[in-house]
Structure 1
């Protein structure tokens, strides 16, 4: 079913290219997905905020973006810089004021600088703590990177967890599959939870240990939410991409 125009629920200003993307998404998403939303009341209607979400598919930002835009906010996503090199798409997302992440380079810290600037301007920033699509064989959140924790502790902005289920049925998970683009529409749910309580970490020096604990808190929250939405029992360990298996140790590398 076609959603109302975003202007009916979103009063935030946004670049023209971003509004054009949203208008296209409004027409295309219903063709491939039946979306169900819950927890919209947890999305702040104004002011700086950080959304942390699980990452299960290449289509995640589209579905999460739709959820946030139609609930009053234009998110600034942090995404791998290689996307900006894709013809046309790279130009569009640059014009839409999204934030590239230059991993393993001298520019690696730039993304958090730009994200902090966006928060200082009262924007909502969306980030995937895992840093990439999960490699867990059952789609559970895997070990993360420290970028989201660093941003949260440095900014003091509220952190809203959002869990997506079903997006991997449209374009596959870590490995793209076009099979989901055909046949019947896929059921997708997007659920926001209350802000994550970071009180005990405020004022602490952001050591690796502290950042790892905050990262684990984000991932534990998303794992618990996914379990509640799906009715499934999460695994005892968390998948570690470096080791290629689930492990009890859940610390992550630097963003």
Structure 2
């Protein structure tokens, strides 16, 4: 069995301080860990609140992975946080600039090293009124089809009780149940050799979002809306709720 990539020292230092806090303020429902490959893979998840990248990283770290999370490049300008993101190997995304493609290059390099790269395909916090996954962007589909790395769909729910979407008040007491469930890799093999045009990328993206949504449905014990929320059809939703 291939050995997992070593966890960088900076990552272990951050985890040393964060994990005891997370153990204290959450009641964890981790499921589907057997679906995580022992080689480089793409983890794709829904995005409900600003804190769920931390709880998702906790889930993956507990399985021996030091996930490399893609995040908006502006976070690297925040004092202290920018240095932590760099030292732990996180991947900046330069949206709407000439450097936008660099995140895919960086992600490919990490996958080739056997790392776990995390994407939130929605590109921002969901604007669905009930918190369901919305229409995804095609960047992760492009990476998946070019790299042919496994794509593991992950549903998560509960972190929004710690910090509401766009909220300012952190509510660690009492401890909150945080569920993170990983599904089997999304089958995109029939799309690998097709032209990676808009139609193919959208098909791959919808398969990815459907797989994520299925995990969220399992956690919540209810069905998602038949039609996925689309920010392009709801321009007012660009504003913070």
Instruction: Give 5+ residue unaligned stretches, structure 1.
Output: 1-9, 246-255
The correspondence for 2:42, drawn from 35, 50, 60, is 50
Calculate the aligned-residue CA RMSD, in Å. Answer: 1.5
The correspondence for 2:122, drawn from 130, 146, 163, is 130
CA apart distance, 1:242:
2.8
Aligned length: 233
Aligned to 1:142: 134
Aligned to 2:209: 219
Structure 2 residue 154 is the aligned partner of structure 1 residue 180: no
> Is 2:7–2:65's contact at 8 Å kept on the other side of the alignment?
no
Structure 2 residue 10 is the aligned partner of structure 1 residue 17: yes
- 1: CA distance, partners of 2:214 / 2:61: 25
CA apart distance, 1:11:
5.8
Structure 2 residue 70 is the aligned partner of structure 1 residue 78: yes
Please give the residue correspondences for 1:83-102 in structure 2 after superposition, counting only pairs within 5 Å: 83-102=75-94
Structure 2 residue 52 is the aligned partner of structure 1 residue 64: no
Are residues 121 and 11 of structure 1, via their aligned partners in 2, closer, same or farther at CA, if it must alter by over 3 Å? closer
Structure 2 residue 132 is the aligned partner of structure 1 residue 156: no
Deviations 1:8-40 (A, max 9, x none): xx9631222111111112111123211110111
Are residues 11 and 23 of structure 1, via their aligned partners in 2, closer, same or farther at CA, if it must alter by over 3 Å? farther
Between 62-71 and 235-244, the greater mean CA deviation after superposition? 235-244
- 2: CA distance, partners of 1:161 / 1:89: 27
> Is 2:47–2:122's contact at 8 Å kept on the other side of the alignment?
yes
Deviations 1:83-105 (A, max 9, x none): 11111011111111110000011
Instruction: Give 5+ residue unaligned stretches, structure 2.
Output: 236-241
Aligned to 2:21: 28
| TM-score normalised by L of structure 2 | 0.92
> Is 2:5–2:115's contact at 8 Å kept on the other side of the alignment?
no
CA apart distance, 1:244:
2.1
Moved over 6 A (4+): none
Structure 2 residue 29 is the aligned partner of structure 1 residue 39: no
- 2: CA distance, partners of 1:207 / 1:242: 20
Aligned to 1:195: 185
| TM-score normalised by L of structure 1 | 0.88
- 2: CA distance, partners of 1:83 / 1:41: 32
